Structure formats: structure tokens, C-alpha cells
Amino acid sequence: MKWILLALAGPLAACSTTVNEPKTTATTVTAPHASLATYRSFSFGPSDPPKVGYQVTPRSLEVQRRLRLVVLSALQQRGYQPNDAQGDLVVKLATGTGPEVLQGERGVERAMPTGLARGYIGINIYEGSTGTEVWQGSAFAEIDPAKIDDSLLEMGVAHMLQDFPARDAGSVASAH
């Protein structure tokens, strides 16, 4: 990356003390001189690879399909308009699964499998005209590798985009 990381939001925790409920975190980074609110439209580009330590799985394509719908809706709610030809912003999604989550055994070095894995979703946003990355979001959660949890995807996107700038009310109203 050619730009210095400006903002790194601390992990947002939606954690529970119950072992069966997934633990999630999300982080975002914005390019220092990017004024995201000046952009009006977006399009989706090809997928990016997952973060190091995460693998593309047979379920990744379905997760990306569902993730795309959630991101599309979230950006539209913020006043950005989809443009299939070439948006001001190009959104690239990434998904992957990491190693199985292990439950520690009373401080002993051995660990027991929980049946959960580590899941990763990413949203990388590039300027459409230059290809320069202007924003990046990542969310991680404990997941059940046997099923896709749509509410967990929605929660991850909400956490990542919570500080993503919305278009002002006047530009949202004039776009409709």
C-alpha cells in the first residue's frame, strides 16, 4: 500500500461469555487524504484474496454472494448509488476460513476443539479512476463451518461500515 494507515478502529467486540455464541471483531482503515463523501457511486470488482492465515473454501463463493447483497444494501443506505459500468468507487470483497477454534483446558497447554472455525470477511474499496485503495474493512468471527450465518454477515458489515461516511441528505434525496 502506498499510503499510511490513518485510522485503525479498535476491535469492536460483540462477545458473549457463552461458548456457543460467536465472538466477532472488526477493524477499518482509511487512506489519509481520501474524502470518501465526495464519491457518489460504486461498482463491484473481482474478489480479493483473504487475509494471510485464511483459506478460500468451497463455501466462500456462496458467502461472497450473500456478502455482496449486504454490502450493496449498506452502501445504498449511506447514499451511494450502484453503477454496474464503472462506479466512482470499486468494491472488492474477500472471504476465508481459518483454523479451528480451540478451547483451553484450565491453563493446561492442551486444548479441545470447539467445532467452530475462524471466519474472515473483508471489504476493500478502491478509487474507480485510479485504482488506489482508499478504504479497507475486516471482520473476524468464530463460525460454524457447516452453515452460513446471514445475521453474522450483517453484523460484520454493520461493524465495519459504522464509521463509513454517508452522503449528505441533500445528495441522497437528489439521487432518487
pLDDT tens-digit map of 128-159: 999 999 999 999 999 988 899 999 999 999 99
Task: Residue 28: give its domain's CATH number.
Answer: 3.30.160.670
Closest CA to 138 of 84, 87, 83, 98: 98
Q: Is residue 142 part of a domain?
A: yes
Quote the strand ranges of the chain, DSSP E.
24-30, 41-44, 81-82, 89-105, 108-127, 133-143
C-alpha cell at 171: 445528495
Q: Which domain holds residue 40?
A: 24-164
User: How far, in Å, CA of 123 to CA of 23, rounded?
Assistant: 19
Q: Is residue 172 part of a domain?
A: no
Q: What is the pLDDT of residues 10-62, one digit of tens each?
A: 332 333 333 445 567 888 888 877 787 789 999 999 999 998 999 998 888 89
